[in-house]
Amino acid sequence: MLRIAANMLATGLLFLGFIHNLEVIAPARAIDAPRTCSPKQFVCKDGVTCISKGWRCDREKDCPDGSDEEPDVCPHSTVSRCPPNEYQCGGTELCIHMSKLCNGVSDCTDGWDEGPHCREYITNCSHMGCKEHCAVTPAGPACYCKTGYEISPDGKTCKDFDECSLYGTCSQNCTNTEGSYTCSCVEGYLSQPDNRSCKAKNVPVERLPVLLIANSQNINATFLSGTTVNNLLSTSTKQTTAMDFLYAEEKVCWIHVGDSPSSTNLKCAFIPNLKSFTDERIINISFSLHHVEQMAIDWLTGNFYFVDDVDDRIFVCDKNGQTCVTLLDQELYNPKGIALDPTMGKVFFTDYGQIPKVERCDMDGQNRTKLVDSKIVFPHGITLDLVSRLVYWADAYLDYIEVVDYEGKNRHTIIQGLLVRK
């Protein structure tokens, strides 16, 4: 699934992307003294971590020790996370196929699947009336089905299981069939050997995808394999805080930060065939760019969108930089990342501060909508899968990359590091 997610992330970047150095210092968490949590918080069993009570028993481990989801804390949480025809080993997240229950071989770590229930309920299966198969579980006999099917509400007959309802089944298009499913790719993408993933075509073939990398000294390029693009002459920069590109025009634009607002400007240059930066020029923007954190270019109109995290606003300028208007400046506390989908006319952005959130609005600032405002602390980088219409963002404090659809639904964690909770 992570491979599929990575492919989707790459397609959202249209072959090119950038990595911008970003240092975030998360608040330290005490580890040597008990904490006193507020009445609205739950104290983890480690005695030092406090989490919102709303995060307890939500089937996601938020305490570093997972104590917010333990059976003694969540006695009524009996919903299994397992796929159809699998059963969850007691007290763990391990799922095993129901055919392995009471088969004489311990598949759960503590032998839970081969307990005394195997003798106690073994004869009960003959009275279950299962259409296909019956397994002896610690809760009694239960019916299960062959691959591609799941138990119907009556608990005995089988019905088709819709694999397409599971996140990550296919990289792009998913078609459910009776007892199975098929994946396909949209125009411009090639199906991969796993028959699930899609990879963008190189047009022309010899034009390999690259990453543009900005730091305090220059802008360089590297192939996705990590190999440096040797024939590209880098351009010198003093400090780059934001950068974006126009793939069709082979043009990159970045903010060159000077010592004062008047010396901070927007620069653009062409990089034909990745050989060199040519025709470098300054685009005079009527608004100050000195505190701009991120930027994005609308490739349909050429308009520039900027995120100012000091004045707490998002503003847009035409491609010549002469006409600029503030898009949003209300209920923004520390805006950080921005991403555009011009084909849908949408702007997506992250904001943290008083109310951390991921939001969406029209490209004129109308129809502002919160997509995520829970289990989020320091949302920063954001990017889109334009094909599947998914929004990915990174939380620098909770240390994860997550995804939702354009409506803020179907939230999933792509990857998560060490949990940090204050």
In a domain, 331, yes or no: yes
Same domain, 154 and 170: no
In a domain, 316, yes or no: yes
The residue among 214, 160, 182, 189 whose CA lies nearest residue 388 is 189
Q: 347: which strand partners?
A: 340, 361
Mean pLDDT, rounded, for 383-397: 95
Same domain, 285 and 138: no
pLDDT at residue 63, as a whole number: 83
In a domain, 237, yes or no: yes
Mean pLDDT, rounded, for 18-23: 34
The mean-pLDDT minimum among 17-26, 208-217, 234-243 falls in 17-26
Q: 253: which strand partners?
A: 244, 268
Mean pLDDT, rounded, for 165-175: 93
In a domain, 79, yes or no: no
In a domain, 45, yes or no: no
Mean model confidence pLDDT for the chain: 84
Q: Torsion over CA of 63, 69, 75 and 79, rounded to 10 degrees?
A: 160
- What separation in angstroms does the CA of 337 have from each of 331, 376, 384? 16, 14, 12
**E runs forming strands in 31-188:** 41-43, 50-52, 86-88, 95-97, 133-137, 140-144, 149-151, 158-160, 173-177, 180-184
In the predicted structure, residue 373 carries a pLDDT above the cut 80: yes
Same domain, 134 and 195: no
Same domain, 286 and 321: yes
Same domain, 241 and 112: no
Q: State the DSSP code for 10.
A: H
Alpha-carbon gap, residue 339 to 24, rounded angstroms: 20
Same domain, 128 and 270: no
- Count other Cβ atoms within 10 Å, centred on residue 63: 22
Residue 19: pLDDT band by 50, 70, 90 thresholds?
Answer: very low
Same domain, 220 and 156: no
Residue 139 in tokens: 């809760």
In a domain, 369, yes or no: yes
CATH code: domain of residue 177: 2.10.25
Same domain, 217 and 357: yes
- Count other Cβ atoms within 10 Å, centred on residue 158: 21
Same domain, 323 and 228: yes
Alpha-carbon gap, residue 139 to 36, rounded angstroms: 39
Question: Domain tally for the chain?
Answer: 3
The residue among 346, 357, 336, 351 whose CA lies nearest residue 384 is 346
CATH code: domain of residue 232: 2.120.10.30
Same domain, 171 and 127: no
Q: Which amino acid is at 211?
A: L
Strands lying side by side in the sheet with 324-328: 292-297, 304-308, 313-317, 324-328
Calculate what percentage of the chain has a pLDDT beyond 90: 51
Q: Is the pTM for the entire model greater than 0.85?
A: no
Contact 405, 395 (CB under 8 A): no
pLDDT at residue 80, as a whole number: 58
Alpha-carbon gap, residue 8 to 196, rounded angstroms: 12
Number of H helices, E strands in the chain: 2, 32
Residue 24 in tokens: 């975030």
Residue 155 in tokens: 């608990």
Alpha-carbon gap, residue 294 to 380, rounded angstroms: 10
Alpha-carbon gap, residue 414 to 236, rounded angstroms: 35
CATH code: domain of residue 93: 2.10.25.10
pLDDT at residue 232, as a whole number: 64
Alpha-carbon gap, residue 280 to 257, rounded angstroms: 16
Q: What is the pLDDT of residues 102-144, one digit of tens each?
A: 999 999 988 889 988 898 887 788 888 999 999 999 888 999 9
The residue among 399, 326, 391 whose CA lies nearest residue 359 is 391
Q: 358: which strand partners?
A: 350, 372
In the predicted structure, residue 37 carries a pLDDT above the cut 60: yes
Same domain, 294 and 239: yes
In the predicted structure, residue 347 carries a pLDDT above the cut 60: yes
In a domain, 91, yes or no: yes
Contact 274, 229 (CB under 8 A): yes
Same domain, 236 and 308: yes
Picking from 199, 226, 252, the residue at the C-terminal end of a domain is: 199
Question: Domain residues for 268?
Answer: 2-16+209-416
Residue 140 in tokens: 């009694």
Q: Estimate to the nearest angstrom the gap between the alpha carbon of 109 and the chain centroid.
A: 31
In a domain, 68, yes or no: no
pLDDT at residue 147, as a whole number: 94
- Radius of gyration of the chain, Cα coordinates, nearest whole angstrom: 26
